[in-house]
Amino acid sequence: MINEDRLWNRLMELGEIGKQPSGGITRLSFTKEERAAKEKVASYMKEAGLAVYEDAVGNLLGRKEGKDPEAAVVLVGSHLDSVYNGGMFDGPLGVLSAVEVLQTMNERGVETKHPIEVVAFTDEEGARFSYGMIGSRGMAGTLSEEELVHQDKHGISIAEAMKAAGLDPSEIGKAARRKGSVKAYVELHIEQGRVLEQANLPVGIVTGIAGLVWAKFTVEGKAEHAGATPMPIRRDPLVAAAQIIQMIEQEAKKTGTTVGTVGQMQVFPGGINVIPARVEFSLDLRDIDAAVRDNVFQSIIERAQQIGQERNVKVTVERLQEMPPVLCSELVQNAAKEACKQLGFDVFSLPSGAAHDGVQLVDLCPIGMIFVRSKDGISHSPEEWSSKEDCAAGANVLYHTVMRLAMGE
């Protein structure tokens, strides 16, 4: 069994990095907070006896050699970056559990056929640039320099942020792994939903990951005096945006499986006595079925254009990123099921509404995930919480899952 006190203490220690007076943790990619988190985790990896390095897109890796150095590597990990004012488990639980698994193996002198690498992926969340999974795209070899133009709210592009972090955007291709060089990718993660809690179970095995599309809506009207402009002649983009956002909720509710969220909004110029000139807001739309999601997205775009015409404002929609829904491999799901049985846990399978780096790796290698129960299903919030016992349960299932994959069974 893994050392649950060591795992928990590291989770709590890491949870101090990026703590916000306004609550929660903000550790955005290529910032000093994320750098500090990487340094801390690199020190844990060294304590675990791993060879520590960073690749060309800033993924942090810790490697344990196998008996057969030619054998494909078993990759296990998650991410260290967070959303704004997020929780302390989303990402770090998977990275620190992976370190704990390898440290326990090394302490017991366990030798595996396959080498094993712990990975902390760069920028899984995409919170800073509204464009995510830079690290896993880099490892999959699907990241191009053109994608590094996305900017944060200060106008800094991903490429500029990478340079400031000591990386060379023109070298990102070096992070790509050759197909066949990775046997499998396994990620332990908090569920971020209510299913395990309602089933009264500490751990679950993920069957598939929902696919998301992120978009930016711009509504342009006419800035005018709040006091001197009669209501009937206004071209108010904020009222139009409010109507579009209500419509988004209606359209997403229709299918019963789709989820739609407007999380960001900016009003220009933003004066209390000025009818806005322009409004920008985001859309995060997801479904486990890409066709269902895309039909909802199409309806939203069409109805938004209609609202624009009715209100004499200009509506434009820019697609920021799209990730297809993916299925987890039988190889990893079966290894996790055997691990659950070995430990006496119910074998319980569930889909993931949240997106994860595995989505980017499906063409590189078989992927799979293990979930740990989330208190009240809350995540991406300072209230995000999982118990020490559940974290240990997840890490023990991860240990036996990785053993099966790395022993070459």
Q: Which is nearer to ligand HGY, 382 or 408 (CB)?
A: 382
C-alpha closest to that of 306 among 317, 291, 295: 317
Which range binds ligand HGY by CB under 6 A, 21-29, 124-132, 164-172, 393-401? 124-132
Evaluate the CA torsion angle 303, 306, 311, 315 in order and state its sign.
positive
Shortest distance in whole angstroms from residue 214 CB to ligand HGY? 9
Given a contact cutoff of 8 angstroms between Cβ atoms, the answer to whether 87 and 25 are in contact is yes
Q: Are 60 and 79 in contact (CB under 8 A)?
A: no
- 176, 93, 100, 392: CA torsion to nearest 10: -140
d(CA 262, CA 258): 14
**Binding residues for ligand HGY, total number by CB under 6 A:** 5
CA angle 144, 351, 299 (to 5 degrees): 65
Residue (90 or 287) nearer to Mn ion, CB: 90
The sign of the torsion formed by the CA atoms of 82, 85, 88, 93 equals: negative
Residue closer to ligand HGY, measured from CB, 124 or 390: 124
355 makes contact, choosing from ligand HGY, Mn ion, none, with CB < 5 to 8 Å by partner type, with ligand HGY
**Is 390 an interacting residue with respect to ligand HGY (CB under 6 A)?**
no
Q: Is 384 in the site for Mn ion (CB under 5 A)?
A: no
Q: Which residue is nearest to Mn ion (CB)?
A: 90
Contact 183, 114 (CB under 8 A): yes
* Closer Cβ to ligand HGY, 308 or 353, answer by number: 353
CB of 28 to ligand HGY, least distance (A): 13
Residue 188 is which amino acid? L
Site string for ligand HGY, 337-376 (x = CB under 6 A): -----------------xx---------------------
Minimum CB separation of residue 57 from ligand HGY in Å reads 17
Which is nearer to ligand HGY, 236 or 384 (by Cβ)? 384
- Is 123 a residue that touches Mn ion (CB under 5 A)? no
Of these, 33, 34, 81, 90, which contacts Mn ion (CB under 5 A)?
90
Tell me whether residue 278 or residue 356 sits nearer to Mn ion (CB atom): 356
Token pair recorded at residue 210? 């929902």
Amino acid letter at 25?
I
**Cα gap 53→62, rounded to integer Å:** 7
225 is in an annotated binding site: no
Piece of the chain touching Mn ion by CB under 5 A; list 69-77, 83-91, 96-104, 269-277:
83-91
Q: Are 399 and 101 in contact (CB under 8 A)?
A: yes
- Indicate the DSSP class of residue 18: T
Residue 294 among known ligand-binding residues:
no
Question: Where do runs of H (alpha helix) occur along 344-409?
Answer: 358-361, 388-406
Instruction: Show Cβ contacts of residue 169 under 8 Å, excluding neighbours closer than 6 positions.
Output: 145, 148, 158, 159, 162, 163
Which positions from 144 to 163 touch Mn ion by CB under 5 A, shown as an x/- string?
Answer: --------------------
154 has binding-site annotation: no
Nearer to Mn ion, 244 or 359 (CB): 359
The enclosing H or E element of 343 equals helix 330-343
Residue 81 sits in the site that holds Mn ion (CB under 5 A) = no
Return d(Cα 150, Cα 72) in angstroms, integer. Answer: 34
Among 33, 125, 220, 236, indicate the residue that binds ligand HGY (CB under 6 A).
Answer: 125
Confirm or reject binding of residue 406 to ligand HGY (CB under 6 A).
no
Residues 6+ apart with CB under 8 A from 171: 56
Count CA within 13 A, CB hemisphere, residue 212: 25
The SS3 of residue 175 is helix
The rounded distance, in Å, linking the Cα atoms of 42 and 256 is 43
Query: How many residues at the interface with Mn ion, by CB under 5 A?
Result: 2
Residue 33 contacts ligand HGY per CB under 6 A: no
- Nearer Cβ to ligand HGY, position 96 or 354? 354
124 touching ligand HGY, by CB under 6 A: yes
Residues near ligand HGY (CB under 6 A): 124-125, 132, 354-355
Which parts are annotated binding residues?
79, 90, 125, 189, 380
Residues near Mn ion (CB under 5 A): 90-91
Which parts are annotated binding residues for Zn(2+)?
79, 90, 125, 189, 380
